[in-house]
A and B are shown apart, each in its own frame.
Chain A
Amino acid sequence: MADTRMSSTPVISPPARDESTTVLLRELVAHLRQSRTQLREEWARRITEAKLLTAMTPEEIFAEATAVYDNYLEALETGSIEALETYARNLSERIIPRGVETHEVVGIVLLLRDVLARSLFAKYQQDFHQLNRILDAYEPAANRIANTVAVGFVQERERVIRQQQEAIRELSTPVLPVRERLLVLPVIGIIDPQRARQLTEQLLRGIRINRAKVVVMDITGVPAMDATVANHLVQTVEASRLLGATVIVTGLSPEIAQTLVNIGVDLGKMNTVGDLQGGIEEAERLLGYKVIPITVEAPVATS
């Protein structure tokens, strides 16, 4: 059996620091804070030079650079990356819609790392021993910060992509009310278990909102279906019935028909009609509609 540890330790714990590291970091943070104005400008200049963040104005770059700089120093000083994490997430949220790319974000953080390291070189160049110790303290902390910002950005991007995928999926299976109490659901493309599930949820909501009694689900556009998805299809039909709606499935290809027979679907539960047109006619019959063609002889209303 898998473990289920009943503890309440935080998930991320900062790596242990010894006393001397803390002292050194404090010293270098004090130095970086003193040179804030100059280093920040230097950084912003190098960002522009490297043609990073081209989607942003120089003023915006400078404002973000200031905020990142201060958060960066705070993370160095306290060893806690929480505030920086939050800021990185906010920043990502703001800049992703403007088309900022992953390499740009990684690029600017590495540039800052470089700008600060150079400033440390300049300050401690007389004392190699001290410089070494300062760098020993600085490097791991800086790496961790760079990692945090980059990972934060990538995660935010992934979240945005997932959201868009959801939206596309929802658009790809429209639930169309075509007559009072009649819905048509054309399904096109490959159905995977996740899409099958989303399709079912959407259909059930559609049935309730439209007070539908009959649904014609046309799967002419579905090239293939494995047993798992076929089972989902059967569940969709069953769930719709629980809401009081009848589902008519149309456009079953010979392959899909074979799958359904192979998995032993109770065909008594499945209401199938050859094609979409036949399905709609059957639905109209169930709903009590009678379609009468208008002939030329029929009286025409005059305006």
Chain B
Amino acid sequence: MASARTLVEKTIVPIRSDRDIVTAREQGRGVALLLGFSPTEVTLIATAISELARNIVLYAGTGEMVLGLVEESKKRGMVIVARDEGPGIADVRRAVVDGYSTSGGLGLGLPGVRRLMDEFDISSELGKGTTVTIRKWKR
């Protein structure tokens, strides 16, 4: 995307254990509240963070979440980047389709996360890791 998108402020939460999942979503809730999202939107954002943070713990062991305020022309919103250097996902396209799962019914929950947010990008390379970027714009 060529448009000017600026990440104005950011917080980085390292993800190493299931305790950090709680930290990440609480921090994310704080950022979303500051941005003036409605209670429902704040909950959607916190839930999405929880899902992505758990994927890191579950599939990569460790990683980090970047929580930030993003601006694009006159739009403001929140961006969340979940990064890990885990095993990566073999078939990214299938991972974001409902019903796909690699771990016997658990699933990555990515289609759900996608529904919670406005934008969803994923890049993954086998053996290198996965980065998921999600955004929600203020309406």
Contact = CB atoms under 8 A, between A and B. Distances in A.
A and B touch in the complex (CB under 8 A): yes
Interface of A: 1-9, 11, 155, 201
Contacts, number: 37
Interface stretch (B2-10, B23-31, B47-55, B101-109): B2-10
B74 interface: yes
A2 B132 CA distance: 10
Given A1-B121, A1-B123, A155-B74, A6 B7 contact: yes
A86 to B, nearest CB: 15
Contact of B7 (A1, A8, A155, A201): A8
Given A2-B121, A4-B79, 12 more contacts: A1-B122, A1-B123, A1-B133, A2-B5, A3-B5, A4-B5, A4-B70, A6-B10, A8-B7, A9-B6, A11-B6, A155-B74
Contacts of B66: 6
A4 B123 CA distance: 13
Given A1-B121, A2-B1, A3-B1, A8 B8 contact: yes
Nearest to A8: B8
Question: Which 10 pairs show the lowest CB-CB distances between chains A and B?
Answer: A1-B123, A2-B1, A1-B121, A2-B121, A11-B71, A11-B6, A201-B40, A6-B7, A4-B133, A3-B1
A201 B43 CA distance: 12
A3 B72 CA distance: 12
Nearest to A151: B74
B121 A5 contact: no
Q: Is the interface of B mostly helix, strand, loop or mixed?
A: strand
B37 to A, nearest CB: 13
Contacts of B74: 155
Contacts of B133: 1-2, 4
Contacts of A155: 74
Contacts of B6: 5, 7-9, 11
A5 B1 CA distance: 11
Interface residues of B, number: 21
Contacts of A3: 1, 5
Contacts of B70: 4
Contacts of A6: 7, 10, 66
Nearest to A4: B133
A11 B75 CA distance: 11
A2 B72 CA distance: 13
A250 to B, nearest CB: 26
A11 to B, nearest CB: 5
16 contacts: A1-B123, A1-B131, A1-B133, A2-B5, A2-B121, A2-B133, A3-B1, A3-B5, A4-B5, A5-B7, A6-B10, A6-B66, A8-B6, A11-B4, A155-B74, A201-B40
B39 to A, nearest CB: 9
B13 interface: no
Contacts of A2: 1, 5, 119, 121, 133
B81 interface: yes
Nearest to A6: B7
Contacts of A7: 6-7
B95 to A, nearest CB: 14
Interface string B14-35: 0000000000000000000000
A152 to B, nearest CB: 11
Contacts of B71: 11
Nearest to A197: B40
Contacts of B8: 8, 11
A261 B114 CA distance: 26
A5 B123 contact: no
B65 to A, nearest CB: 13
A3 B81 CA distance: 11
A201 B38 CA distance: 11
A15 to B, nearest CB: 15
- Name the residue in A4, A6, A8 with the highest tally of chain B Cβ atoms < 10 Å from its Cβ: A4
B81 A4 contact: yes
Nearest to A155: B74
